Amino acid sequence: MKTLKKTAIMIVLTLLCIIIIDNYQRIRDEKRLENGEKDTNVAKEEQAEEPSYELTFLALGQTYMNDSVINSGRQEDGTLNYQYLFQGVGEQIQAADISVLCQGSVIGGNSLGVSGYPNFNSPEELCDAVAAAGIDAVAMANVRVNNMGSAAINTSLDIWKLRAPEVNVLGIHGSPEESDYVLVEQNGLKIALFDYTAIVTTAISNEEAYKIDFFGDYADGSANLDTLSEQTKAQLAQANEVSDFIIVFASWGLEDTHEITATQERFAKQLTEAGADLIIGNRPNYLQKVEWVTADNGNRALCYYSLGNFVSSDSSVDAMLGGMAKVSIKVQDGQTVIDESNTGLIPVVTHYTSDGTGNEVKVEGVIPFESYTDEQAALHGVRNKTSETFNREALQNILNANVDTKFVLH
């Protein structure tokens, strides 16, 4: 009995001590606030939020949403889900401060019918997957963006706002008054994001050409492929006034080739002269070279002429190898520059399987080439579509032939 009484007394004393200590801490904190002192934890949080003036940027290649890619996202209950496309590179996306996807076609609304070649209309559910992956922006000014008509461009903007409002949409506009670029602030740096296309496969009227950002002047169904328009130059000049670094996405070049065109070279140099610091190319379906471009006025920009396809169901071995551009941006000696020691290309492989009949395949996902094995390559469905050799060595040969090894990240 005495033991129980002693235990009860000890519990009461302990509770009294806790109350006294808690009251003392509360009074102390109130006095510190009255004296203008900051709580230690708050001070630590504010210190952690101080800008670092450096960031990692990641650009993903083109999503070539052909019928097999679309159908591969179809679930047993008939719904569509494309999160599988980004799961294999989720670590790289999460590690980036800013990430952008190159979308290869319009997302004009499922009511128009989702479809691949030749009248591309990607499913609305792709927007959900992009947002779920944590991708910050999508480059929409591509050669197929008007495949479903100009009204579908407005619908696409509405779909992005409804399904993925946190994702910035580049290169297309609902009205002439909309800004021509997106300004993203991260780690104390202001990054301007632009997106232009050289051409569109389905013409748009002169009156509605404002809906798509073109490199050159557009009129009567075609765009100038020799010179940047005065409007484009003015947009870049204005962005130079308010940003620390300019990134331009470029839908250009010819499809299914590793060779760059004279148009790509011209626009790369003109964009550099106009103030671009980094150029990310897409459309050709194949990887193309990475190089530093120096303009006549001394400006310098890093150009990835084509990241190839991020995902596709193509029957070409070359189209299975794509890339992601990883670029480290930092302030050095008062200038915002690219840290070349942590910048380059991360090669990726689209992996799909096939039952050997017809053209339909099952796209399984996208895998970094570094971790892609010959065992996986032996199961790739492209083997049923071509007589070309498909293994790690074949992919490595394609990479070596088209991208300088100094730009390849491992």
Per-domain boundaries in the chain: 2-47, 53-407
Distance CA 207, CA 163 (A): 29
Distance CA 56, CA 189 (A): 11
Could you tell me which of 129, 121, 120 has the C-alpha nearest to residue 164?
A: 129
CB 291 within 8 A of CB 263: no
CB 92 within 8 A of CB 326: yes
CB 225 within 8 A of CB 211: no
Query: Residue 22: what pLDDT?
Result: 54
153: buried, middle or exposed (CB in 10 Å: 19+, 13-18, 0-12)?
A: buried
Phi, psi of 408, deg, nearest 5: -95, 125
**What angle is formed at CA 181 by the lines to CA 180 and CA 185, rounded to 5 degrees?**
155
pTM greater than the 0.75 cutoff: yes
Residues 6+ apart with CB under 8 A from 403: 287, 289, 290, 323, 345
Within the chain, which residues score under 50 in pLDDT? 1-9, 11-21, 24, 27-28, 31-47
Distance CA 117, CA 121 (A): 9
DSSP 23-66: HHHHHHHHHHHHTTPPPHHHHHHHHHTS--SEEEEEEEEEE---
CATH topology of domain 53-407: Purple Acid Phosphatase; chain A, domain 2 (3.60.21)
Could you tell me which of 181, 179, 112, 177 has the C-alpha nearest to residue 146?
A: 112
Query: Residue 26: what pLDDT?
Result: 54
**What angle is formed at CA 104 by the lines to CA 98 and CA 107, rounded to 5 degrees?**
95
Name the 3-class secondary structure at 68.
Answer: helix
Query: Residue 23: what pLDDT?
Result: 52
Q: Each residue of 51-92: pLDDT tens digit? A: 999 999 999 999 999 999 999 999 999 999 999 999 999 999
Between β-strands 222-223 and 278-282, what pairing exists: parallel, antiparallel or unpaired?
unpaired
Query: Residue 33: what pLDDT?
Result: 42
**E strand or H helix that includes residue 327:** strand 321-332
Distance CA 212, CA 228 (A): 15
